[in-house]
Chain A
Amino acid sequence: MEHSSSSNTTSELTTADDSKATILLMGLRRCGKSSICKVVFHSMQPLDTLYLESTSKPTTEHFSTLIDLSVMELPGQLNYFEPNYDSERLFQNVGALVYVIDSQDEYLNALANLSMIIEYAYKVNPKINIEVLIHKVDGLSEDFKLDTQRDIMQRIGDELLDLGLEGVSISFYLTSIFDHTIYEAFSRIVQKLIVELPFLENMLDNLVQQSNIEKCFLFDVNSKIYVSTDSSPVDIQTYEVCAEFVDVILDLENLYKSTETTGFMDKEMMGVSKLNNGVYIYLKQMIRGLALVGLIRTNTTGNNNNNNFLAVIDYNVDIFKKGLQEIWAHTRLNKQNQISTSSTFVDNTNDPRHNLITSSNI
């Protein structure tokens, strides 16, 4: 997986090519933008982010998971509405605007700033997704979190109403870098930018139904963001366990990586762990730095042919992987041919879901 970060000058960054989905990370100074970037994309320890210096230049990072994603971080102290700053082009190329609000600080300034940005961005690019992270909630008590969220939502709603912008939909997330909420929030933000998402979800649903998997995620191995999951509700604890499992497998793999073979992922990673209460956690590497992690619950009462159902899952997951490869090949092809992407592959005739076998038949 490519993993490059660079600090660009503004002229370069505004000419980012359109094939990349871009996330713009904004917020007042010291609200925690760089920390978020470091923790999510560079797996820095949350406590180490205390020593980060103030960001002075816009920085961009590129990631290629299933989609090519770039995250652009803007310094907080800049004023984007100075006439010499080309903010119009900046907002035009952006898929999502993520605004970070420090919930432990006085946030009225941030809200004023936000509504100004929304007004401008929405005018330039009405299709932009606006996401608000109510950040650093780890220091707030449970009641206070909800109060803060309600207060912020209310105030922004009022502000936008005053500005005459009623159709803007804004999503709110309560986040902290000290737990998994930030990954969860970023997962949802990234998912909005993936045009193939409904199809992916559908494939995962099929896989889950046919193989008795309780819940499965498609993880980006390096950042632990999940690109997609099946349509059953996400339980944060399940997510945490699955994310940790990715780490366990990666770490163990790295310890015993044979030195002769230089390529990191020449061998497909996979791992199965059995827990005491009959739960299995299953991981298999997919394409492009993605890994499928599933949670399988078996009835503990005397079902000894475990290898049978794991074989079924193996088989089905392989088919799922082929499906993924096909999707990716198609999107690539489409982009090269400059055809509009979103709908061409849905009527894919050799749909892999027909090949799935059901574990109930065995």
Chain B
Amino acid sequence: MSNLNNKKTSNINQSVTNGGRKKLLLMGRSGSGKSSMRSIIFSNYSAFDTRRLGATIDVEHSHLRFLGNMTLNLWDCGGQDVFMENYFQQQKDHIFQMVQVLIHVFDVESTEVLKDIEIFTRALTLLKKYSPDAKIFVLLHKMDLVQLDKRQELFQIMMSKLRDTSTAYGFPEIVGFPTSIWDESLYKAWSQIVCSLIPNMTQYQKNCKEIANIMECRELILFEKTTFLVVCSNEMKYNGDNNTAGLISQQQQQQHNGLDPKRFEKISNIMKNFKQSSVKMKSSSFKSLIMRNSGIYVCELTSNLMCFIVLKDPSQQEQLVLNNIKRIQKYFS
């Protein structure tokens, strides 16, 4: 392993264009699980805790700082028909202006699929008018309620239907995810949604790759610290547009290195659980986790990034690895 000191890796900060405020609309019919998602990803709820959540009245705003310079304004729009009507009529310019991302949630168990889609189209029409550049994500939620062998098929049918609808309303590129709060699929979806908002993603990826090579990592993953969403890794491209090929490329990847294709989300899940349990020790969060004999290092990189490193050769000197981690900090600060 060579020392990182003399290597040239461009600093993330130089290419930062101030991301500023991002407006995310979280929409969907009442009871589809919007607030539950939000609470799990951004407020450290466990899936079990979301039972206590009541109906959202009107719009609930939350402001989240992400990766330092980016602010996510999440508009959690209550989904009861009264509120919905209100959004589409009186408040339409207020709600649909300056939207970066629309996240539309569909309950797979819903009995009124046509009505769900109708609301989706109404939202798309207004979005076309007020913020035509918005990205659209659809989440087929509560997938855990569908039988295992039918999930894939159901998802395909629903997605082709939704894609047709959205193309007709002027948004040809929508991205869909099957999600459930009871497994790691939720983290995958939100990672990709949030990553699509990061302006200097290519820089992150480039740095990640170079550092992984220099440190001889089997894997290097960057996580956002509070939410534990995956920012990028040395292997996968983490942005939305290659999603249609996502399934195939993941299978190839698995054959390629023999690793679990869902490992990113699983790590998010594991680490987040651990973070919650460490709160019981009257500590806000954990700082580092080192598994020396298997070459796994999880460390704070900056005030908002965690790195997750798996070495090719676990017998490397611990101190050397830690020193290198200290050195790469400056490329991400």
Contact = CB atoms under 8 A, between A and B. Distances in A.
Interface stretch (A26-34, A53-61, A113-121, A241-249): A241-249
B288 A273 contact: yes
A279 B287 CA distance: 10
Contacts of A44: none
A50 B218 CA distance: 41
B266 A251 contact: yes
Contact of A273 (B266, B286, B294): B286
Contacts of B284: 276-277
B273 A244 contact: yes
A255 interface: yes
Contact of A255 (B259, B281, B282): B259
A256 B296 contact: yes
B285 interface: yes
Contacts of B282: 277
A277 B319 contact: no
Interface residues of A, number: 30
Interface in B26-68: none
B116 to A, nearest CB: 27
B285 A275 contact: yes
B214 interface: no
Interface string A220-256: 0000000000000000011011001101110111011
A244 B293 contact: no
A270 interface: yes
B270 A279 contact: no
Contacts of A245: 274, 277
Contacts of A249: 291
Contacts of A271: 289-292, 296
A278 to B, nearest CB: 8
Contacts of A281: 278
Interface string B234-248: 000000000000000
Interface residues of B, number: 33
B158 to A, nearest CB: 27
Interface in B206-256: 218-219
B220 to A, nearest CB: 13
A241 B260 contact: no
B270 A252 contact: yes
B266 A276 contact: no
Given A245-B274, A279-B281, A255 B266 contact: yes
Given A245-B274, A251-B266, A270 B293 contact: yes
Given A237-B280, A244-B274, A277-B283, A272 B290 contact: yes
Contacts of B292: 270-272
A241 B319 CA distance: 27
Contacts of A241: 277-278, 280-281
A268 interface: yes
Contact of B310 (A247, A256, A277): A256
Nearest to B299: A274
B258 interface: yes
A255 B280 contact: no
B264 to A, nearest CB: 10
Max chain B CB contacts within 10 Å: which of A253, A269, A270, A271? Answer: A271
B294 to A, nearest CB: 6
Contacts of B219: 256
A255 B218 CA distance: 12
29 contacts: A237-B281, A240-B277, A240-B280, A241-B277, A241-B281, A245-B277, A248-B271, A252-B270, A252-B296, A253-B294, A255-B259, A255-B260, A269-B291, A269-B293, A269-B294, A270-B292, A271-B289, A271-B291, A273-B274, A273-B289, A274-B286, A274-B289, A275-B283, A275-B286, A276-B283, A276-B286, A281-B278, A295-B281, A307-B319
Given A244-B273, A273-B287, 13 more contacts: A244-B274, A252-B294, A255-B259, A255-B267, A256-B218, A256-B294, A269-B294, A272-B289, A273-B278, A273-B288, A274-B287, A276-B283, A276-B286
Interface of B: 218-219, 258-260, 263, 266-267, 270-271, 273-274, 277-278, 280-294, 296, 310, 314, 319
